Amino acid sequence: MFKLGAKSGLARCGVLSTRHGEIQTPIFMPVGTQATVKGMTPDQLTAIDAQIILGNTYHLNLRPGSGLVQEMGGLHRFMGWDKPILTDSGGFQVFSLSELRKVREDGIEFRSHLDGAPLFLGPESCYRIQAELGTDIAMVLDECPPFPCERDACAAAVKRTVRWAGEFLEHARRDGFLERGHHVFGIIQGSTFDDLRQECGTALAAMDFPGYAVGGVSVGEPEEEMLRQVSICAPVMPLDKPRYVMGVGTPPQLLKMIGMGMDMFDCVMPTRLARHANVFTPDGLINLKNERFKHDAAPIMEANNYTCRHFSRAYLRHLIMAKELLASTLLSIHNLHFYLDLMAQARLHIEAGDYGQWSAAWIGRYEAGEA
């Protein structure tokens, strides 16, 4: 169940109820591809107020296998995380294996990137895997068109995406998945073709999913086009359901999309950049390898997270230069907290009614620092 709260322009707050707790939106979801957010323990995620994390259907089915996860009590127990989990369908990962996959009308043939074993993913198997994982929010199987994409190929991908979504939802309904309190989100595809995006979104809306997502963005298209496609999808996404933009983005991008009425986001960027010594600040990214931080006694920024409360830039740079594993953990704590705190600030300003003014000022400062 999703309950809408305050609004400020198109930006909105909400509460999404799941089997493992409530999620306050807008929200950022740390990515735990293989049943772990890289470099982070569940306790560390809880300490930075992570409300929900992601798991990856493709990777978890290959290793260790959804059956083993089910045998171990489900994904929550397996990884020691008692809050909500969303699992993506695996469609994007299969899309990225362009040399190893073949799209059929009933699903996708592909080869494992681990050992080359032949595999197949269709709407039913995609549902079964996520049901065995015990996810709170399951994403339907979709076909993610590449960028650039020919219109005819994209139109065919949209038709398959809509059909597969309906089949996935039917399996979930027939199996009692929804009745047991799990959610299923449909995914809007259509590349950069406005009418195909709207056609896909309209067809999915008619199926009455518990939630909806914008997929196939940030796959190589310019930032302006990515944001435009999100804005094109927004009008056909039901107002009373959560809206999720998959696989994005930078802090300014998230604030811009919240301003379009989007609610949920995920991206590997915070932890990936942390592993490469990059940390977020209100004045843009900084790279702690830089020599100018060698004698810097200040924290990354004034922030209420473990890293900033306890360690200087000089110490963090030392860990990075010494190639100590702790560097990745401490920088990941900071970067994920930065994203989650930004979402908390957004919720406060939506409730205060000044989201547009606040977000424009925040983005202006960040982008000026980046420049």
- Continuous segment of H or E residues that includes residue 47: helix 42-47
**227 in Cβ contact with 186 (< 8 Å):** no
The active-site residue out of 136, 142, 263, 266 is: 266
Q: Is the pTM of this model over 0.75?
A: yes
Instruction: Please pick, among 43, 82, 88, 296, the residue that the annotation labels catalytic.
Output: 88
In the chain, the largest separation of any two C-alpha atoms, in whole Å, equals 62
Handedness of CA 325, 328, 334, 336 (dihedral sign): negative
Cα within 13 Å of Cα(91), Cβ side: 32
How far apart CA 15 and CA 9 sit, in angstroms, is: 18
How far is the CA of 94 from the CAs of 56, 147, 231, 321, in angstroms? 12, 15, 26, 36
> For this structure, is 194 an active site residue?
no
Write down the domain spans for the chain. 2-267, 278-364
User: What DSSP state is assigned to residue 31?
Assistant: B
pLDDT of residue 91: 77
Parallel, antiparallel or unpaired: strands 211-214 and 183-188: parallel
**Cα gap 248→219, rounded to integer Å:** 10
Could you please state the CATH topology (level 3) that the domain comprising 2-267 is classified under: TIM Barrel (3.20.20)
Q: Is 266 one of the catalytic residues?
A: yes
Tens digit of pLDDT for each residue in 275-327? 999 999 999 999 999 999 999 999 999 999 999 999 999 999 999 999 999 99
For 76-110, the pLDDT digits (tens) are 999 999 999 999 987 777 777 777 788 899 999 98
